[in-house]
Amino acid sequence: MKAYVNEDCIFCGLCADLCPAIFQLGDEQAFVSANEIPEEMWDCCREASEECPTEAIEIFE
């Protein structure tokens, strides 16, 4: 699985709260810190994607 934060991110910080091992906050938007998401992080990664208020997290299974 791979994940990507697109330009719709409003920098709310929710993804970094839900899945801090994968999502980090940059200067203007969140970013994904792992190129390939480890399997044990898939659930929290999907949760972050579902909860993101602007649907800015794209997941590629």
Q: Which two tokens stand for residue 46?
A: 């999907």
CA–CA distances in Å: residue 61 to residues 1, 13, 43, 45, 46: 4, 23, 12, 11, 10
User: In the bound complex, what is the minimum distance in angstroms from residue 35's beta carbon to ligand SF4?
Assistant: 17
Q: Based on CB atoms, which residue is closest to ligand SF4, 8 or 38?
A: 8
Query: In sequence order, what are the residues at sequence separation of 6 or more whose Cβ sits closer than 8 angstroms to the Cβ of residue 26?
Result: none
CB of 36 to ligand SF4, least distance (A): 19
Nearer to ligand SF4, 23 or 37 (CB): 23
CB nearer to ligand SF4: pick between 7 and 39? 7
